[in-house]
A and B are shown apart, each in its own frame.
Chain A
Amino acid sequence: MKDKQDDLINYVIALGDDSLILGQRLSEWCYHAPFLEEDLALANVALDFIGRAQMFYEYASQLETRVLKENARSADQIAFLRDTRDYRNLLIVELPIGDFAFTMARQFTVDVFNQLYLQQLVNSTDSTLAAIAGKAIKETDYHLRRSQEWMLRLGDGTDESHQRMEKALKELWGYTAELFTMSAYETALLRDGISIDRTALCSDWRKIVTELLQQATLKVPSDEWQVTGGREGLHTEHQGDILAKMQYLQRTYPGLEW
């Protein structure tokens, strides 16, 4: 029973980490986007992901309270006071923002995945996860509408935008495999209908992504290499950098409030 509770806490935190790190990455565009409307859009999407992370962490904190009582961590402590190896986010979300093409290519591949994933998670037997998914999916629909528009516009745009988009896709392609890799704790929760079988989403994801890339006159990169490890806390060198910036204030002034 205790193991099951641990699996659930790990799972909820991992979902929160995916959202928080992507939200933090997107927020780096604030003040730097190519034009004002895009600056607002990126900040808005970032905020949606940070809000999503907060819902997952609040739930993780509640779950911890059941087991650890007063020793349980708050949502803020979960977000700001863990070290690199304790984060469970997928590697694809921690990669630096790169150029605008890279940011949008990552966003598009992750948005398509999130839509498929959340469509399943709304049916989770865990009612809190189902409720979070119910809120998040409506936002993801808007995210995807925008990111696929950018794929078309940049892929089927100028020579330079096309070439940058192809380069971006090639750079991130090997990280997409992890979207469909099950961690031990996700597998353990699958039997009770709490978690989602990621492996089963792969063919739909490929179909949607391939169709849109073709429409955008972009080549689908070949599967030459794959990396995984985020779910076990084995990150790229970029994770430490993003945490240093994100956690600076709480580490320097512990417990500081807005």
Chain B
Amino acid sequence: MDSIPVISEPLAERMARRRDSAYPALWDLLDQVKDPEIPVLSLWDLGVLQDIVVADQTVLVTITPTYSGCPALREMQQDIDSVLIAAGYAKVEIATQLAPAWSTEMISEKGRQQLLDYGIAPPVSRRGQPICCPRCASPKTQLISQFGSTACKALYCCEHCAEPFDYFKCL
């Protein structure tokens, strides 16, 4: 029954929040904001963007940091701010939320595909699944280092095509 698509609970909750939101235009607007380290992936698809509400003419955006020390967080906040200001929203507040902790299960299906297209192997969704080479799709790959070029990635090498590649770690 491997073919039944299953999405994680935190992702389902986030999708429901967006679907039922009174501000669909704001969500669409913020789709422009990409991860500074992986510029093909929007904050929504990465699972960082949690909620958007408007109160007293202020746009309140809630985001959740990926890794505790992720240096991209400040840049994400600035990017959200400037996109909203440019669209005419004068007052913007950005709150960071720690719980529920961000996990790779919050990445959307589209986001996983975008990671793969960008040359980063997406996090495996089930324990024991092989990590496949993003270039030749071979499951014969080897861990080089648990810690890669950024906090969220590990370094792997493909034994089939011999290319080194980044793997987005499960968190």
Contact = CB atoms under 8 A, between A and B. Distances in A.
A41 B146 contact: yes
Given A48-B151, A138-B101, A138-B171, A37 B145 contact: yes
A23 B69 CA distance: 10
B69 A142 contact: no
Given A130-B99, A131-B98, A44 B151 contact: yes
28 contacts: A37-B145, A38-B145, A40-B149, A41-B145, A41-B147, A44-B147, A44-B148, A46-B69, A47-B69, A47-B70, A47-B71, A48-B151, A51-B70, A52-B68, A52-B69, A54-B69, A55-B68, A127-B99, A131-B98, A132-B98, A134-B100, A135-B98, A135-B102, A138-B103, A138-B171, A139-B67, A139-B68, A142-B146
Interface string A16-37: 0000000100000000000001
A135 B147 contact: no
Contacts of A138: 101, 103, 171
Contacts of B100: 134
A136 B65 CA distance: 12
Interface in A121-136: 127-128, 130-132, 134-136
Q: Main SS of the interface on chain B?
A: loop
A108 interface: no
A256 to B, nearest CB: 16
Range of interface residues on chain A? 20 to 34
Given A48-B67, A50-B69, A142 B98 contact: no
Nearest to B69: A51
Contacts of A134: 98-101
A48 B68 contact: yes
Interface string B137-171: 00000001111111100010000000000000101
Contacts of A38: 145
Contact of B69 (A40, A48, A145, A146): A48
Given A48-B68, A48-B69, A146-B147, 5 more contacts: A40-B145, A44-B148, A131-B99, A134-B101, A135-B102
Nearest to A49: B69
A162 to B, nearest CB: 23
A45 interface: yes
A47 B98 contact: no
Contact of B68 (A54, A127, A130, A145): A54
Given A37-B155, A40-B147, A48-B151, A131 B101 contact: yes
A141 B78 CA distance: 31
Contacts of A139: 67-68, 171
Residue from A38, A40, A127, A128 with most neighbouring chain B CB atoms (10 Å):
A40
Interface string A125-166: 001101110111011001001100000000000000000000
A146 B146 CA distance: 7
A26 B104 CA distance: 26
B155 A142 contact: no
A77 B118 CA distance: 40
B145 A47 contact: no
Contacts of A49: 69
B146 A145 contact: yes
Nearest to A135: B101
A119 to B, nearest CB: 14
A23 B147 CA distance: 16
Contacts of B65: 51, 135
Contacts of B151: 44, 47-48
Nearest to A142: B146
B144 A37 contact: yes
Interface in A32-74: 37-38, 40-41, 44-52, 54-55
A132 B144 CA distance: 30
Contacts of B145: 37-38, 40-41
